[in-house]
Amino acid sequence: MSAPRRRRVMESSHEGPDERWMASYLDMITVMMCMFIVMFAMSNVDQEKFEQLRASLATGFGSEISETRDVSEGVVVPPELVEEEGEGFVETPTAPTPAEQEYSSLDDLRSRLEGALAEHGLGDAATFTIDDRGLTIGLVSAETFFDTNSTDLSDRARAVLDAAGSVLAADAHLISVEGHADARPAIAPFADNWELSIARANGVLGYLVEARGVARERISSVGFGSSRPLAEGSSAEALAQNRRVDIVVLSDADAQVRGELPALAAADG
């Protein structure tokens, strides 16, 4: 037998230069191109924002003193970079304090009461005061609401209470009806000014409840006689101011908030 033929294996060979280095080279070129693009983009600095940043850093490190703050951007700037008032700066609104909210609520009620009275031609029939108790509606000169030494409501009193009562009935605050008398002695059937002032306060309370629908649990009455005069002296004008019935819409805020109401009322004029 003849010997098996050996299979000739042809090995491939590469006679040219090795070009695998080009892959690494192209990667490096790509990275360098990206780096230069980023550097170019960073070189286009917003000059105005750069000046603001520079001024802020200078002020923060104490090299410049400035009392002006750009509240819209949070940047402290020196005077030469401050624009004219009203341009470039936005004042940050602040939330109202509890006292401001309470005052606004009472002032809104006052506006609605004034509007209701004015609509019926009774704009001069009451005074309005906001203080640490709440909103006081003063029905000045009780004789325009009651006959002399009487607790019967006059036609004018009913008209005023009709206009104001519709607004008060829709409100949620507690109400105190407070009767006052001038310093002259009361006559029969009233033993003294205390009884007269209480009876008139009860008359207003009863009308607001029965005729205007004010909830009974929201309203009370009290008489102060002549112990809390608004005016001194015995002139007709002083007596008229002291002879009154007040309807007090009581604030339900806490004592600290109520204590700030007079200052807010004074600032509001």
State the Cα angle at 101 between 117 and 228, rounded to 5°. Answer: 55
Answer yes or no: is 80 within a domain.
Answer: yes
Answer yes or no: is 41 within a domain.
Answer: no
Kindly state whether residues 115 and 87 are assigned to the same domain. Answer: no
State the pTM of this model.
Answer: 0.64
Answer yes or no: is 29 within a domain.
Answer: no
Q: What b/e string do you get for 136-166 counting C-beta neighbours within 10 Å, with b at 16 or more? A: bbbbbbbeebbeeebbebeeebebbbbbbbe
- In which residue are the tokens 């002020």 written? 59
Kindly state whether residues 107 and 189 are assigned to the same domain. Answer: yes
76-134: pLDDT as tens digits? 555 665 555 555 555 667 899 999 999 999 999 999 999 999 999 998 888 999 999 99
Q: What is the largest CA-CA distance in the chain?
A: 162
Q: What pLDDT score does 197 carry?
A: 92
Estimate the crossing angle of helix 155-169 against helix 193-210, to 10 degrees: 60
Kindly state whether residues 249 and 152 are assigned to the same domain. Answer: yes
Q: What pLDDT score does 9 carry?
A: 47
Q: Please state, in angstroms and rounded to a whole number, the distance separating the CA atoms of residues 133 and 10.
A: 112
List Cα–Cα distances, 71 to 53, 68, 89, 91, 92, in angstroms.
14, 9, 7, 7, 7
Kindly state whether residues 74 and 185 are assigned to the same domain. Answer: no
Answer yes or no: is 50 within a domain.
Answer: yes
- In which residue are the tokens 């004029």 written? 269
Q: Residue 135: which residues within 8 A CB-CB, separation 6 or more?
A: 106, 109, 110, 128, 129, 248, 249, 251
Q: Where are the beta strands (DSSP E) in 26-126?
A: 68-70, 75-77
Kindly state whether residues 51 and 179 are assigned to the same domain. Answer: no
Q: Please state, in angstroms and rounded to a whole number, the distance separating the CA atoms of residues 131 and 174.
A: 15
Edge-first strand order for the sheet with 134-139 is 127-130, 134-139, 245-250, 174-179, 219-223
Q: Please state, in angstroms and rounded to a whole number, the distance separating the CA atoms of residues 56 and 66.
A: 9
214-247: pLDDT as tens digits? 999 999 999 999 999 988 888 888 887 888 899 9
Kindly state whether residues 119 and 195 are assigned to the same domain. Answer: yes
Kindly state whether residues 232 and 115 are assigned to the same domain. Answer: yes
CATH, residue 179: 3.30.1330.60
Q: What pLDDT score does 71 carry?
A: 47
Average pLDDT over residues 2-21: 57
Tally of domains within the chain: 2
Kindly state whether residues 54 and 148 are assigned to the same domain. Answer: no
16-49: pLDDT as tens digits? 666 777 788 888 888 888 887 877 766 665 666 6
Q: What pLDDT score does 181 carry?
A: 87
Answer yes or no: is 188 within a domain.
Answer: yes
Q: Is pLDDT of 73 > 70?
A: no
243-268: pLDDT as tens digits? 889 999 999 999 999 999 999 999 99
149-206: pLDDT as tens digits? 778 888 888 999 999 999 999 999 999 999 988 888 888 889 999 999 999 999 999 9
Kindly state whether residues 54 and 159 are assigned to the same domain. Answer: no
State the Cα angle at 178 between 241 and 121, rounded to 5°. Answer: 60
Answer yes or no: is 122 within a domain.
Answer: yes
Kindly state whether residues 56 and 146 are assigned to the same domain. Answer: no
Q: What pLDDT score does 28 carry?
A: 86
Could you list the residue range(s) of the whole structural domain that residue 70 is in?
46-92
Kindly state whether residues 209 and 78 are assigned to the same domain. Answer: no
Answer yes or no: is 15 within a domain.
Answer: no
Q: What pLDDT score does 75 carry?
A: 54
Tokens of 219: 């309203």
Kindly state whether residues 65 and 166 are assigned to the same domain. Answer: no
Answer yes or no: is 22 within a domain.
Answer: no
